[in-house]
Structure 1
Amino acid sequence: MHRFSMAKHYPAMQPLLALSMQVHDGGRLEPTLQQLVLMRVSQINGCAYCLDMHSKDARAAGETEQRLHLLPAWRETTLYSEREQIALAWAEELTELAHGAVSDALYERASAVFDEDALVDLTLLVVAINGWNRINVAARNIGGHYQVPKAKAA
């Protein structure tokens, strides 16, 4: 079960929460694009708690079941816009850092569809969800019980 209580250590998590909220509320990234990125990074990191949360938040933001189901194979479908595809590729490269860097080729593609402020927000979104994934995985927080806040569900 749980290894430690996130609620007990909530004050220590305030900077990560503030970062997450700033990016979410910044208005530079569409809510559905944000949720796709949060879902994809959480899939890579195997964070059931975050997958539960963000799949429900994505649906509340208007995302379709089909796009959520096909997200692990986003390269194999035409359901995602060019902007979404680039955001997903950026999120994957930044999360996995297989070669120790995000490629110049991807940066060129990303900077063609995101202005600098939006690209920084996208980067910070990926940094934040990687942090949340790692905290939840370390704490062994389980998925399946998240409830969408009424403000998001409306």
Structure 2
Amino acid sequence: MSATTPPDGRRVYVDKQSPKAYHALVQTSEAVRASAADAGLDRVLVELVNLRVSQLNGCAYCLDVHTRAALRAGESARRLGVLAAWRDTEVFTARERAALALAEATTHPADASAQETAYAAAREVFDDTELSAVIWAAITINAFNRVSILSKHPVRGVPGTGSATPA
């Protein structure tokens, strides 16, 4: 077993095994973050996209990372608690709802009807720059989800508490 192999020995941490490729993904993420900021997108909205995509993909590691990031950005525990059922609540703005639908369509592009509906709704509340930034945020977190899921990145707890490691 090497530093690029998790303790279970069955998987390879692909980010550590192929650091140049992972670094390129990190650079892409940094460019996407800058594009979102330049477009004027609120950090909370971007973190909601990151979280919703990570929920859909079942990426525990990214859910942990982006829950903490959303809380640091000012998101409430209440809204995070209902994010998986965002369509059934009234706690998200029209822009957030459009971004969440677009993130879902980006994550599951084979559903052409849902994709068209989500894109049309997003066009009503986002300009071209904002729309592009939301799509790139969803694309990027999807890529990170796959790295973490296939590597089986662990969510580590705080010893003796049973809770996730604090930020």
* TM-score in terms of structure 1 length: 0.87
1:7–1:103 distance in 2 versus 1, CA, 3 Å? closer
Could you tell me which residue of structure 2 aligns to residue 23 of structure 1? 32
1:98-145 Cα deviation digits (max 9, x unpaired): 425763332222112111111111111111110000111100111245
Greater RCO between the two (CA within 8 Å, min separation 6)? 1
Task: Say whether the 8 Å CA contact 1:36–1:58 is kept in structure 2.
Answer: yes
Find the residue that maps to 1:103 and give its secondary structure: helix
- What does 1:4-153 correspond to in 2, within 5 Å? 4-5=12-13, 6-26=15-35, 27=37, 28=39, 29-100=41-112, 103-144=115-156, 148=167
Check the 8 A contact 1:94/1:101 in 2, yes or no: no
How high is the sequence identity, in percent, across the aligned residues? 35
CA distance in 1 between counterparts of 2:85 and 2:114 reads 20
Q: How many residues align?
A: 148
State the distance in 1 between where 2:156 and 2:51 align.
Answer: 15
Which of these two proteins has the greater Rg computed from alpha carbons? 2
8 Å Cα contact 1:39-1:51 kept in structure 2 = yes
Distance 1:13 1:96, change over 3 A: same
Aligned to 1:143, the other structure's residue is in SS state coil
Q: Which runs of 4+ in 1 moved over 4 A?
A: none
Kindly indicate whether the alpha-carbon contact (under 8 Å) linking 2:52 and 2:83 is maintained by their aligned counterparts in 1: yes
Q: Which stretch shows the higher mean deviation, 100-109 or 64-73?
A: 100-109
| Unmatched segments (≥5 aa) in structure 1 | 149-154
Q: Secondary structure at the match of 2:16?
A: coil
Q: Counterpart amino acid of 1:127?
A: I
Structure 2 CA distance for aligned equivalents of residues 105 and 46 of structure 1? 24
Partner letter of residue 54 of structure 2? S
Whole-Å separation in 2 of the counterparts to 1:72 and 1:52: 15
Q: TM-score, normalised by structure 2?
A: 0.81
